[in-house]
Amino acid sequence: MKHHPRFAWGIVLTTLLLTALPLSGRRVDMDLLPWENASGEAVPACLYLEGGFLTTDKGCPDWGTADPSKAVFLGDRLGDVVVTYASGKTDRIPLVLGYTVWMHGIWMEHPAPFKGDAADKDLADLLERALCLAGGFEGKEKGLLKIVLPRGDVRSVAIEKNPAKEAAPVFTGGWFSDENDAADFFATHAVKAGKGIPRDVKTALKTLSRALHTFESDFKGPLVPHETAAEAGIRFDGNALARIATAVVQCNIDKLTDRTDADGFIHTSYRDAPSWRYDGFGPYVAKANSYFDSFYSRDAGRAIMTLNGFHKTAAADSACRFGNRWMMYYPEHGLTLGGKPVPGHFSVIPNKPLIYSQLLTHHGWPTRYTRERFGEGFENLGNQETDGHGLMMMANWMTWKNQGGGRSYVQDNWKYLCEAAEWILWCFDNPDLSFVRDGLLYGETEAAMNDYTLYANLPCYLGLLCYAEMAASVGETAASDRWLACAEKIRQGIDAGLTTDNGAAWDKKHFGFFHDPVPTMFADVCGYGLDGLPEAWRARSEAAFDEDLAGTAGSGWFGAAGGIGYNHSMITQNALLLDRTEAAGRLLEALSKICYAPRLPEPYLVPEGFTADAAQGIYRRQGDLGNLVQQAEALKCYLLAVGISPVRDRVLKLMPRLPEGWSATVTDFPVQNTAATLSLKVGKPKGGRQRIDWHLSSTEDIDRVEVRFGPFKAGRSKARVKLNGRKYTIALERAGDAAWGWVPLQTGGD
C-alpha cells in the first residue's frame, strides 16, 4: 500500500428543501433540486439538468472493496430523476453510469481505453454514443442532461438515489425550455422520459463493461493464451481456475525477475506499468509508472523471498546487495539525531532515504520527529519503516540459505548484516530517539502508523534470529549472542504488549495490516509446517483465524481493500498454513479470479488491488498493475499450495494443500536450500484415496523426506499406504479442519 500526497476535487451534497419557484414565460430556472411547481402552470417540453456526477466521484473506496454498496461499475443504476405530473403519474429517468451520469476525477487523466495514445477508437466511439451527459466525455466540471417530457403539467422534479449504493447522483439545478438547442449533441443524445434505457445504449454499456471487467462467464470459456520467457516448473490443472493459476505463476515470476536490474534495483512498478488508480471505476492510466523509480524495502524484502522460492537466486542476491548499500546512507553522510550518529537502516524507500521526513511529513504524513522536539537534524532519521527493515533482514538470510548457507556470503556482507542488526539494538539503547516502549519497536509507516504492531515487530524479531544464525556460522559468537538477547526482548514485548485475555489471544487492533501475520511470516523462516513456531503463538493464531476470516468469507471470499498482498493473500496464506482446507480452497479460487483480466493488458498479472461484486460475479482491477509486494505475496500463495517446503535441518517436507478439483504437476523444480530438483504429481484425495508421485534429482543435501497425505475427513484415524510396492498402515492426525497422514522416508530410495 502506498500513500503519497494526492490532490483531488470532490462534490459536497447538501440536503435541499423543497422550493417552489414561479414560472416565468417559457423558461424556468431551477436553482435548487428538488423542485416543486406550486402554481401548477404548464412548463416547456424539455427539462435540462446541470451536474451529472456522483457524491463520491469514485468507483470505490481507496484500494477497492468487496462491498457492492460501495462499488460503482459501468452500467450501474445510481438513482432516478423522478418527474411527477398533475395526474399523479410519474416518470423515472434512470441515472446510469455511462448513460446519464459520469465520473470526473480519473477521467481528467485521459485514461485508456478511451483516451490518449492507448485509446481504442471503437470503444471510445461507443462510449460517446451511449453517454447522454453533455460535457461528460470532454471532462467538463458540470455536465448537462436534456430530458424530453411527454406533457407540460409537471408538478415536481426530484433526484432519488439507489438505496443499495452509497454513491448518489448530484444535479445542482436546471431549467425548462422549448427553445431549439443549437448544439448537435442533443439531436442524438436527448433522453426521452417514459421510454426507459434505449436498447442500443444497453448493448453499448454491456460491451463497454465487458471490455473493462472480468465476469464469471470468463472462467467457463477458453482462456487467453499466455507466453512466458521460461516455464516456472509448476502446473495446476483440473478446472479453469487451476489453469489460470498456472498462467498467473508463470507470467508473474517472469515479470518479477525482469524488473530486477543488473545492479539489483528491484522496481516496485515494472516499466510502463498501467494504473487503475485506487478509486477508479474501470478506465486506466497507461504507462503510469507509479513507483518505477522506487525501491521499497517492504516490497523488496517480500519479493526477494519469493524470488528465492522460485530459485531466482542471482536476482535475489543482487537485490539484497542493492538494498544493503542504500541502507548505509545515514552513516555515510554523517547524519545525527539528538547529537548521536544515526546507524544504517532500511527506510520505506531506501533509494530515497529522506523522502518521508523531508517531503511527505510536510504534506500531512504523521510523525513524532519534529523540529520542536529534536531541533536541528530532526529529519535525519528518515522514518521508522520497522517492518521493511525486518523483512529485508529475512530476505538476506533466505538468500544466504539458498546459496548453501556458507561463510562467503556472510563475510562479504558482514558490514551490512552487522549494521542492520545493530540498528535494532540502537533503538533499544536510545528509546528517547526511537520511541521503543516495553520491548516493542515503534513504526511510522503503514504497518504501524505511529504505533506498535505485530506486523512491524515480528519481522525484526525473526530478522535478529536469522542474523544471529549467520553470525554464529562465521564464529561471530558475541554478535550472535547480542542479537539473540535483543530478539528475546522483542518476543517478550510481543507476548506482553500485543496480546489480550491474559496472553491467550492476539490483540487484533494491533495486527498492523488486515490479518494476523504470524503464520505466514514464520513460514518464511521455519518452513511450511511451521516447525519452531512457539506453541502459544500457534494457539493464538488458531484462535484468531475464524474471526479474522469472517469479513473475507462474508464478502464472497474476497479480501479486498488495502492491496491483494496485505489482505487477500495474507488470509489465504494463513488458511493454507493452518490447514483450514475449505477456506484455503475458496480463497485460492478467488485469487485466480481477481488475477485474470482477459480483455485488458497483461491479462494474468496480479493487480495491486481489486473491486469485486460476488453476487453479480463482476471483478475489476484497482491500483498499480503488478505492484511488487502484492505480486510477491500472491505468488507465495501458490507456492504454499504446491507445498514443497524449504529444506530445514536436512529434512524436506512435501505438504500439498490444493483446492477441491485441482491437481499439481511440478517438473524439475529447485528445492530451496539444496542443489536438488524435484518432480511431483499430486491431486486431492478422491473417494478416500490419494496418489502422490515424486522424484528427487539428488539427495546430497537431504537426509530425510516427509510426505504428508490428505486432507481426509476429520474423524478418520488410520490409513493404508503403499510406498514403492510396500504396504503398511499409518496414523492420521487432526490439523485444522481435516485429518492428515505423514509418510517419512530416509533418502536413498525414490
> Is the Cβ–Cβ distance between 106 and 57 less than 8 Å?
no
**pTM (2 d.p.):** 0.93
Domain that holds residue 723: 651-746
- Is residue 271 pLDDT above 70, yes or no? yes
Last residue of a domain, one of 187, 212, 237: 212
Q: Is residue 258 part of a domain?
A: no
- Is residue 695 pLDDT above 60, yes or no? yes
Q: Is residue 392 part of a domain?
A: yes
Q: Is residue 205 part of a domain?
A: yes
Sign of CA dihedral 726, 727, 728, 730: positive
Q: Which of 11-25, 231-245, 702-716 has the lowest mean pLDDT?
A: 11-25
Q: Which three cell numbers stand for residue 557?
A: 471470499
Overall average pLDDT of the 141-151 stretch: 93
Q: Is residue 255 part of a domain?
A: no
Which of 303, 307, 398, 299 has its CA nearest to residue 347?
299
pLDDT of residue 2: 47
> Is the Cβ–Cβ distance between 478 and 418 less than 8 Å?
no
Q: Is residue 247 part of a domain?
A: no
Residue 737, Cβ density class (10 Å: 0-12 exposed, 13-18 middle, ≥19 buried): middle
**What CA–CA distance (Å, rounded) separates 132 from 143?**
9
pLDDT of residue 28: 54
Q: Is residue 614 part of a domain?
A: no
Collapse the DSSP code of 526 into the 3-class scheme (helix H, G, I; strand E, B; otherwise coil) and give the result.
helix
Number of folded domains that form the chain: 3
Percentage of residues in the chain with pLDDT exceeding 70? 95
Q: Is residue 463 part of a domain?
A: yes
**Burial call 85-96: b when 16+ CB within 10 Å, e when fewer:** beeeeebebbbb
> Is the Cβ–Cβ distance between 177 and 27 less than 8 Å?
yes
Q: Is residue 172 part of a domain?
A: yes
pLDDT of residue 152: 87
Do 33 and 172 sit in the same domain of this protein? yes
Q: What is the DSSP string of 583-629?
A: HHHHHHHHHHHHH--TTSSSTTSPEEEEEEETTTTEEEEEEEET-HH
- Is residue 3 pLDDT above 60, yes or no? no
Q: What is the DSSP string of 348-365?
A: SSTTSTTHHHHTGGGGT-
pLDDT of residue 749: 43
Last residue of a domain, one of 212, 241, 273: 212
Which of 238, 155, 190, 84 has its CA nearest to residue 662?
238
**What CA–CA distance (Å, rounded) separates 397 from 674?**
15
> Is the Cβ–Cβ distance between 610 and 560 less than 8 Å?
yes
Last residue of a domain, one of 186, 212, 238: 212
Q: Grade residue 432 by pLDDT with cuts at 50, 70 and 90.
A: very high
The pLDDT tens digits of the residues spanning 72-116 come to 999 999 999 999 999 999 999 999 999 999 999 899 999 999 999
Q: Grade residue 183 by pLDDT with cuts at 50, 70 and 90.
A: low
Do 47 and 190 sit in the same domain of this protein? yes
The CA-CA-CA angle for residues 32, 35, 37, to 5°, reads 135
pLDDT of residue 151: 84
What is the chain's mean pLDDT, rounded? Answer: 93
pLDDT of residue 547: 93
Which of 193, 85, 98 has its CA nearest to residue 148?
193
Overall average pLDDT of the 126-150 stretch: 95
